[in-house]
Amino acid sequence: MSEKITVSVIKADVGSVVGHSKPHPSMMDKCREVLADGLKQGTIDDFYVTRVGDDINLLMTHRKGENHKEIHGLAWNAFMEATKLAKKMKLYAAGQDLLTDAFSGNVKGAGPGSAEMEFVERGSEPMLFFMADKTEPSAYSLPLSRIFLDPFTTTGLVIDARAKKGFDVEIHDVKDSMKVTMSSPEETLSILSLLSDTTRYAIKRVTSRAGIGPAAVVSTDKLNLTAGKYVGKDDPVCICRSQSGLPAVGELTQPFMDTMIVGGWMRGSHHGAFYPCSVEASDPTYFDGPPRICCIGLHISNGKFQGTEPMNSKPGVHLPIDFFEGPEWDYVRSNSIKVSKMLRGHGPFMPATLSPDEMEYTSKPEVLKELTKRFERLD
């Protein structure tokens, strides 16, 4: 099949049960209903509705390309319908990520996050879908740098001739809405020089230099900048194709065995350590976290998702592999709690909290205003 297919993940937090914990199951069912309708209308070829923490993730396949009005419109409708239910139940932050009442054709700038890639389906197309809650897009920069730039992480960069050709990395300046594409391995150190500033730069896309097409894409919409005020963290997704000239599935998951400190967590204003877990275990139950990272695997097969569900089962019904569920991840979960607890020991002091201009909540301007007359110049 040489026709191009598109995999889109559009995600939003439109309300949750008891704080920022988990969408109500009826909200997920409503999204399934809306997407099943979209499938019937021929807008999409397949879908899978899942979540991480309080964020609903809509996985869709279709043939309309990236940024298509009908696809974004379908996702928007699903989130609007789910919001109605959340409001009816008076759930917390109902409609949190829907920043406008009037949908204008694309979810970008309207609140939800999106990661989409268009490609010609290979003979076998194994994909991983990373989904994070209580953190920001640049949280993926470290693991993706390890995966695509570091041969001590991805042995494939050394032993797979096509992976060895390297990768192009599109980096977004999320504050000034600028982008630049750089090439690895030649520019690896300069790429890292930018990405090390996680407050401004994030990887948007990684593309094979061996002609395989897109390898990874991240939702980089900076929600709090879009909204102009705090409405929640971005809670980004990252889609990766794998194997045969691209990093293997195991190479994609490996970096998450190291404990990584990311920005977000409670009130979007803290540092916490990534906690890899199953979708089922993704309710943020310790200080609204620690920031959860889930990873599910599905094939793209003739434009549809295929997991371990029976062949030709109903569209929308899938059984992905849940990569971070197993006991081998207990080690890093335990480290995550140790590191996160150590950070909590600092209370409201940095580095438990983010740098002042990254805090989603701050009372500092008010406090300074109250003190204007009391501050005295030092001699």
Active site residues: 13, 230, 233
Does 235 contact Mg ion by CB under 5 A? yes
Complex with Mg ion: residue 112 or 303, whichever CB lies closer: 112
Helices (H), 292-351: 330-344
Does 13 contact Mg ion by CB under 5 A? yes
> Exactly one of 147, 266, 277, 295 binds ligand 13P (CB under 6 A); which one?
266
- Among residues 264, 272, 314, the alpha carbon closest in space to that of 290 is found at 272
- Among residues 259, 240, 219, 251, the alpha carbon closest in space to that of 149 is found at 251
Does 68 contact ligand 13P by CB under 6 A? no
> Rounded distance, CA 43 to CA 55, Å?
23
Measure Cα distances from 378 to 368, 375 in Å.
17, 9
Does 321 contact ligand 13P by CB under 6 A? no
> Rounded distance, CA 237 to CA 219, Å?
6
> Exactly one of 20, 64, 222, 271 binds ligand 13P (CB under 6 A); which one?
20
Complex with ligand 13P: residue 5 or 91, whichever CB lies closer: 91
Does 270 contact ligand 13P by CB under 6 A? no
Chain residue whose CB lies nearest Mg ion: 20
Token duo for residue 356 = 């002042």
List of E strands, 304-357: 304-306, 321-322
Does 283 contact ligand 13P by CB under 6 A? no
Contacted by 250, from Mg ion, ligand 13P, none: CB < 5 to 8 Å by type = ligand 13P
Report the SS3 class of residue 105.
coil
The single residue listed with the structure tokens 């990874």 is: 216
Pairing state of beta strands 275-276 and 292-301? parallel
Does 133 contact ligand 13P by CB under 6 A? yes
Q: Which residues contact 252 (CB under 8 A, 6 or more apart)?
A: 128, 147, 240, 242
Nearest-approach distance from CB 235 to ligand 13P, in angstroms: 5
Does 54 contact Mg ion by CB under 5 A? yes
Which span (117-125, 127-135, 261-269, 333-341) binds Mg ion, by CB under 5 A? 127-135
Residues lying near ligand 13P in the complex (CB under 6 A): 13, 20, 53-54, 96, 133-134, 232-233, 235, 248, 250, 266-268, 288
Residues lying near Mg ion in the complex (CB under 5 A): 13, 20, 53-55, 93, 133, 232, 235
